[in-house]
Structures are given as C-alpha cells and as structure tokens.
Amino acid sequence: MTDPARNAVETDETDWRIPGVDTSRRFDPSLSDAERGRLESIASVEREPARFAAEDEAAARLPPRPVRRTTGASVVLSVRVDPAQLAALERQAAVIGIKPTVLARNLVRAGLSCPGSSALVHAVDQPDAAVAELHSLVH
C-alpha cells in the first residue's frame, strides 16, 4: 500500500545518492515493511543535504542580530519575568520605596558580589526574605 504523503516528498537529484541503492523502490508494495523502512531511511538521509542548504539560505536572509554596545559605564539588559514575578518585584519595591528596576538591579548585584554563596540561592528562591534583608540595610 502506497502512502500518498510519501509520494508527495520531493527527492534530491544530487551527488548525495548512495551508489547501488534505488530509494524510489521504497513505494513498491511487493517489498517487506522492513525493506521499505530501510529504503525510506536511506532516502531521508539523501534528502538532508538539500534541506541543510535550504536552511542555510533561509538563515542568510535573516537580518543580523544587533550588537550590544556600551554607551557609558553601564549596559541596558532586558530580563523576561512572568507576570507573577513582576507583581512580586513591584510589591517588594514599593515596600522599600524604590523602583522595581532598581530592586532587580540590586538583587543581581548582590548575587554577583558573592558567587556560589547561599545568599544568591536565597535571593532567587526567597525574594520576600531578600527584600526584607535589603529593607533592613536601607533603614
């Protein structure tokens, strides 16, 4: 039984063919399932160079990624957080009386000032406790 979806697959007529193997026979109903599977696997491998070339061409058409440039002593960095994390950051910043971006920057700085310590894990896992600690240092 022939699969119409398989018949729609375009074959690549390049030098990537395996000598002595006729993969077009993979649709022959007289072949065993194992032989058809083997030929389909070979045909799939033979199609890969054309697929890779098409992907390379598509990637070449993409606009270049912007280069991060420093405009002074600092660099702007975007960080993705989910809505619940943003709400928690905003709440905690309001308690201390600072902007959420200032709190986020200070949490990053605190974590980087003592790499590998439990303070970093604490700041990431327990933001409420970290904010309370920062609040006690500010007041």
- The pLDDT tens digits for 5-53 are 444 444 444 455 666 677 777 788 888 888 888 888 888 888 888 888 8
What does DSSP assign to residue 3?
-
Residue span of the structural domain in which 15 resides: 4-61
How would residue 90 be classed by pLDDT, with cut points 50, 70 and 90? Answer: very high
111: tokens are 């974590």
The answer on 54 and 12 residing in a single domain is: yes
Percent of the chain residues topping a pLDDT of 70: 69
How far from chain centre, in Å, is Cα 77? 18
In a domain, 43, yes or no: yes
Mean pLDDT of 92-112: 87
Dihedral-angle region of residue 18 (phi above 0 means left; psi in -120 to 50 means alpha; beta otherwise): beta
Q: Contacts for 49-53 with beta carbons within 8 Å, 24 or more apart?
A: 49/12, 49/14, 49/16, 50/12, 50/14, 50/16
What pTM does this model have?
A: 0.36
How far from chain centre, in Å, is Cα 39? 33
Mean pLDDT of 71-92: 85
Count of domains observed in the chain = 2
Mean pLDDT in the chain? 75
Q: What is the pLDDT of residue 10?
A: 44
